[in-house]
C-alpha cells in the first residue's frame, strides 16, 4: 500500500473485512457497517473503495451496485449447456401442505442477498419493497395464507413502511423482525441523523429523538440467524426429508438427461 496515507490504508483494511463477511456488498452497506468503528463520512468510504479497487487492494467483484439492473436473454452455445443446469432449477414446494406460507420482506434490495442466503434453505421467498410498496404490488403480493417477516430501518419512514403494509396488504400475520429498539440497544448500533425533510420526521423526533438507525449496520451473520429463527417458527414438517425428496427429483432429471444424450 505504498503511497497511501495511514487513514485510507486503515479504511481499505476495514472495507476488506466487511467484504469477507458479506461476500458481496454495496458501498452504502460498507459505510453503515463501519460507521461505529471509523466514523468516516460516506464520501471518504466511497473514495477508499475507489482507490482500493483501482490499485488491486479491494476485490472488484466484492462491491456491487444493485440499483442498475441489466435486461437481456440468457444465451447458450448449444442444447447441452442448457440441459446441464436444468436439474438444479427444480425446487420442491416445502410449504404446499402448510396453513401458513412465510415470506421475508425488506425495504432494501442491498440486503436481499444476505436474507435470501438463509431463506433459500427453506425455499422461502424474499420480497424487496424498495421503500414504500406500490399499490399494484400490494394487490399482487397479498394473500390470506401468508406470514410476513419484515426487515427494515428504524427511522421516520422505515417505521412507517411496515405500518403502511399492515394497513394495505391482506395476510394473516405481520411482524417486524428488525430493526427494533431492543436490537439497537443490545448491539450498540451507530446512529445517523434523521432526515428532517421527511414529512414523518416531526412525529418520529418527538418519540425517538433526532437520530435513526440503519439495518445495514447489523452483522450479516446475525441477520441470517434472525431469518432462520423467523422461518423456523412456522415449520410443521421434516425439513431434511423435504430436502431429500427435492434431491431425488433432481437425480431423476439427471438420469433422464443422460438417457437423452
Express each pLDDT in 34-54 by its tens digit: 988 888 899 999 999 999 999
Q: What is the rounded CA–CA span in Å between residue 215 and residue 187? A: 11
Contact, 246 vs 122, CB < 8 A?
no
Q: Give a yes or no: residue 67 inside a domain.
A: no
Please give the pLDDT value at position 169.
Answer: 73
Q: Give a yes or no: residue 187 inside a domain.
A: yes
Bond into 101 cis (ω within 30): no
Contact, 175 vs 149, CB < 8 A?
yes
Residue 33: which domain range? 6-54
In tens, the pLDDT along 139-174 reads: 888 878 899 999 999 999 999 888 888 777 766 688
180 and 115 both lie in a single domain:
yes
Q: Give a yes or no: residue 116 inside a domain.
A: yes
- What is the rounded average pLDDT of the residues 124-135? 89
In tens, the pLDDT along 85-122 reads: 889 999 999 999 999 999 999 998 888 889 999 999 99
105 and 227 both lie in a single domain:
yes
Inform me whether the pLDDT recorded for 198 exceeds 70: yes
Q: Give a yes or no: residue 63 inside a domain.
A: no
Contact, 101 vs 127, CB < 8 A?
no
99 and 37 both lie in a single domain:
no
Please give the pLDDT value at position 140.
Answer: 86
168 and 109 both lie in a single domain:
yes
228 and 108 both lie in a single domain:
yes
Q: Give a yes or no: residue 220 inside a domain.
A: yes
Q: What is the rounded CA–CA span in Å between residue 213 and residue 228? A: 23
Inform me whether the pLDDT recorded for 24 exceeds 80: yes
Widest Cα–Cα separation across the chain:
69
101 and 48 both lie in a single domain:
no
Q: What is the mean pLDDT of the chain?
A: 89
223 and 138 both lie in a single domain:
yes
Please give the pLDDT value at position 163.
Answer: 81
CA dihedral 29, 185, 177, 126 (to 10 degrees): 10
Q: Name the percent of the chain lying above pLDDT 70.
A: 97
174 three-state secondary structure: strand
Cell matching residue 235 = 415449520
Query: Domain of 149: which CATH number?
Result: 3.40.1360.10
Which pTM value belongs to this model? 0.83
DSSP 143-191: -TTEEEEEE--BSTTHHHHHHHHHHH---SEEEEEE--HHHHHHTTPPP
Inform me whether the pLDDT recorded for 1 exceeds 70: no
25 three-state secondary structure: strand
49 and 102 both lie in a single domain:
no
* Residue carrying the nine cell digits 401458513: 100
**Chain center to CA of 64:** 13
- What is the rounded average pLDDT of the residues 180-186? 95
* Residue carrying the nine cell digits 421475508: 104
6 three-state secondary structure: helix
Task: Report the number of distinct structural domains present in the chain.
Answer: 2
Q: Give a yes or no: residue 135 inside a domain.
A: yes
Amino acid at each position: 500500500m505504498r503511497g497511501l496515507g495511514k487513514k485510507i490504508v486503515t479504511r481499505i483494511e476495514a472495507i476488506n473485512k466487511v467484504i469477507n463477511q458479506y461476500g458481496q456488498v454495496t458501498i452504502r452497506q460498507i459505510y453503515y457497517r463501519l460507521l461505529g468503528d471509523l466514523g468516516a463520512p460516506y464520501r471518504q468510504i466511497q473514495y477508499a473503495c475507489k482507490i482500493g479497487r483501482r490499485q488491486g487492494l479491494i476485490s472488484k467483484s466484492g462491491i456491487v451496485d444493485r440499483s442498475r439492473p441489466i435486461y437481456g436473454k440468457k444465451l447458450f452455445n448449444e442444447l447441452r449447456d442448457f440441459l446441464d443446469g436444468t436439474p438444479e432449477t427444480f425446487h420442491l414446494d416445502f410449504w404446499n401442505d402448510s396453513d401458513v406460507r412465510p415470506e421475508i420482506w425488506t425495504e432494501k434490495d442491498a440486503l436481499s442477498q444476505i436474507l435470501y442466503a438463509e431463506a433459500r434453505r427453506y425455499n422461502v421467498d424474499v420480497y424487496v419493497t424498495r421503500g414504500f410498496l406500490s399499490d399494484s404490488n400490494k394487490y399482487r403480493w397479498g394473500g390470506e395464507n401468508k406470514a410476513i417477516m419484515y426487515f427494515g430501518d428504524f427511522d421516520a419512514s422505515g417505521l412507517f413502511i411496515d405500518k403502511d403494509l399492515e394497513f394495505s396488504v391482506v395476510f394473516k400475520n405481520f411482524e417486524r423482525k428488525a430493526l427494533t429498539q431492543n436490537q439497537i440497544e443490545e448491539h450498540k448500533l451507530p446512529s445517523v441523523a434523521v432526515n428532517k425533510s421527511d414529512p414523518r420526521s416531526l412525529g418520529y423526533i418527538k418519540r425517538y429523538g433526532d437520530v435513526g438507525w440503519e439495518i445495514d449496520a447489523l452483522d450479516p451473520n446475525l441477520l441470517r440467524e434472525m431469518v432462520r429463527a423467523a422461518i423456523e417458527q412456522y415449520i410443521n414438517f421434516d425439513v431434511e426429508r423435504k430436502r431429500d425428496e427435492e434431491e431425488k427429483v433432481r437425480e431423476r432429471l439427471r438420469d433422464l438427461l443422460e438417457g437423452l444424450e
